[in-house]
């Protein structure tokens, strides 16, 4: 990790930049895949499974027999852990339900808003070096709570044509309606356009590599919504002298091991803390199975010393991290000063891994600075808000003249007439 000592605010913009990679051929490659899927449907998906996943599939659909067999391959301990996480995530997202509230804006004029689940949603679940079955919990559970009727899941198979057992067990547990063996940008294409096997959906959720991310971005141009813009995973830790350096190092590495393009940032008002954390990082890194991935991520990462905690918070708000950890016994003192972050972890025992798996909050969060203007996935991500209004004779009488005047001022005579005719019918 590169170290910086009290950098001037003029340098912050550069210090907030994420890792950059050559994307010169990305747009063309992904556009070609999407066009191929749109044109050739299942045939394209079988072709890409052989090319990218190294498997010649005879069917894209995961069968009930495969789901039942997978359940037997998942240990009882892991099943219990998944169920515990499921219960907490359900509880947190159930609390986000909003009952319609009728408001009488003027006597005789009632207005209200109702949440309606998006009928068809698609979930993309990576299945490569880290099969993210936990993301199924984070996406399918709020989808079910929201009342989504169809929950389609796409995930890549292995070279034997099988899907990770934990992915299948979790998907079945939480009520995913259909599961398909499709990965990469082609999976996004299938859910965007529909194929002979895979249905078209109205909104696509889930993380992925740069090809999946670009495919989701392009899908929006075809009228399919996505959860949010996304980049590689990241964490920013603000640590003071009351932190535990070994905890902080573990938190930094937990994000660094996601991928070589991940980024971790350490801020502190103590040079001693930075030194101790960096020593712990080196020590713990050596013992990690994914240490090569984490090491490359650390090359894109940095630690910064600032003279006080308030400046650390200011820098964090400028960076707008996906995950923000305040490793301090005084973490609660800074809550009101946090303006840009996907999800915040307060104190020495609130590790980011808790939010990734089982505390109850959602781990699908804005990255790459998008926390400045996007929220993480929540129940609201799976619903549409439909407004209603009901006017009585008294209501149209009370606001009718104002509507007529405004419509006439805008030169929209038919709008005015729609009111005038009603007023005449009432008052004659």
Binding-site residue numbers for substrate are 233, 255, 258, 323, 356, 410, 415
363 is catalytic: no
Catalytic residue list contains 323: yes
Distance CA 378, CA 356 (A): 14
Euclidean distance between CA atoms 71 and 83, whole angstroms: 13
**Tokens 């209603």 map to which residue?**
388
Q: Which residue has the tokens 């019918």?
A: 425
**Active-site pick, 322, 394, 404, 408:** 322
Using an 8 Å Cβ cutoff, are 404 and 419 in contact? yes
User: Of the listed 66, 257, 276, 323, which one is catalytic?
Assistant: 323
- Report the sign of the C-alpha dihedral through residues 371, 377, 378, 383, in that order: positive
Can you give the three-state secondary structure of the chain, one letter per residue?
CEEEECCCHHHHHHHCCCCCCCCCCHHHHHHHHHHHHHHHCHHHHHHHHHHHCCCCCCCCECCHHHHHHHHHHCCHHHHHHHHHHHHHHHHHHHCCCCCCCCEEEECCEEEEEEEEECCEEEEECCCCCCCCHHHHHHHHHHHHHHCCCEEEEEECCCCCCCCCHHHHHHHHHHCCCEEEECCHHHHHHHHHHCCCCCCCCCEEECCCCHHHHHHHHHHHHHCCEECCCCCCCEEEEEECCCCCHHHHHHHHHHHHCCCCCCEEEEEECCHHHHHHHHHHHHHHHCCCCCHHHHHHHHHCCEEEECCCHHHHHHHHHHHCCCEEEEECCCHHHHHHHCCCCCEEEECCCCCHHHHHHCCCCCCCCCCCCHHHCCCCCCHHHHEEEEEEEEECHHHHHHHHHHHHHHHHHCCCHHHHHHHHHHHHHHHC
CA-to-CA separations, 302 to 181, 211, 297, 327, in angstroms, rounded:
38, 26, 10, 17
Q: Which residues participate in the annotated binding site for Zn(2+)? A: 255, 258, 356, 415
Nearest to 248 by CA among 331, 306, 314: 331
Positions marked active-site: 322-323
């Amino acid at each position: 990790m590169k170290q910086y000592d009290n950098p001037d605010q003029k340098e912050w913009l550069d210090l907030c930049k994420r890792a950059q990679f050559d994307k010169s051929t990305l747009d063309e490659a992904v556009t070609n895949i999407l066009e191929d899927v749109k044109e050739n449907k299942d045939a394209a998906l079988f072709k890409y499974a052989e090319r990218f996943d190294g498997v010649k599939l005879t069917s894209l659909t995961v069968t009930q027999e495969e789901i039942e067999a997978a359940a037997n391959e998942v240990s009882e301990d892991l099943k219990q852990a998944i169920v515990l996480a499921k219960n907490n995530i359900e509880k947190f997202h159930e609390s986000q339900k909003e009952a319609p509230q009728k408001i009488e804006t003027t006597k005789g004029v009632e207005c209200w808003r109702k949440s309606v689940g998006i009928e068809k949603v698609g979930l993309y679940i990576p299945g490569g070096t880290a099969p993210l079955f936990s993301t199924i919990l984070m996406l399918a559970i709020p989808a079910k709570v929201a009342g989504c009727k169809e929950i389609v899941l796409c995930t890549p198979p292995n070279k034997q044509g099988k899907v990770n057992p934990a992915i299948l067990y979790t998907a079945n547990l939480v009520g995913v309606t259909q599961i398909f063996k499709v990965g990469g940008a082609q999976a996004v294409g299938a859910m965007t356009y529909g194929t002979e096997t895979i249905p078209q959906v109205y909104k696509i959720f889930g993380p992925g590599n740069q090809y999946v991310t670009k495919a989701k971005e392009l899908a929006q141009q075809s009228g399919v919504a996505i959860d949010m813009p996304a980049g590689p995973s990241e964490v920013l830790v603000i640590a003071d002298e009351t932190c535990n350096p070994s905890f902080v190092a573990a938190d930094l590495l937990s994000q660094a091991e996601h991928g070589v393009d991940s980024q971790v940032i350490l801020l502190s008002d103590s040079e001693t803390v930075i030194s101790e954390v960096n020593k712990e990082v080196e020590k713990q890194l050596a013992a990690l199975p994914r240490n090569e991935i984490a090491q490359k991520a650390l090359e894109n990462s940095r630690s910064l010393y600032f003279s006080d905690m308030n400046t650390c918070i200011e820098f964090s708000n400028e960076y707008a991290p996906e995950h923000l950890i305040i490793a301090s016994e005084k973490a609660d003192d800074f809550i009101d000063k946090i303006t840009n972050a996907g999800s915040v972890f307060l104190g020495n025992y609130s590790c980011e891994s808790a939010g990734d798996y089982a505390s109850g909050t959602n781990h699908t969060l804005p990255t790459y600075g998008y926390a400045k203007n996007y929220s993480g996935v929540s129940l609201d991500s799976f619903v549409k808000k439909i407004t209603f209004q009901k006017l009585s004779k008294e209501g149209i009488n009370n606001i009718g003249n104002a509507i007529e005047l405004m419509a006439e001022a805008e030169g929209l005579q038919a709008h005015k007439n729609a009111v005038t005719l009603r007023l005449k019918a009432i008052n004659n």
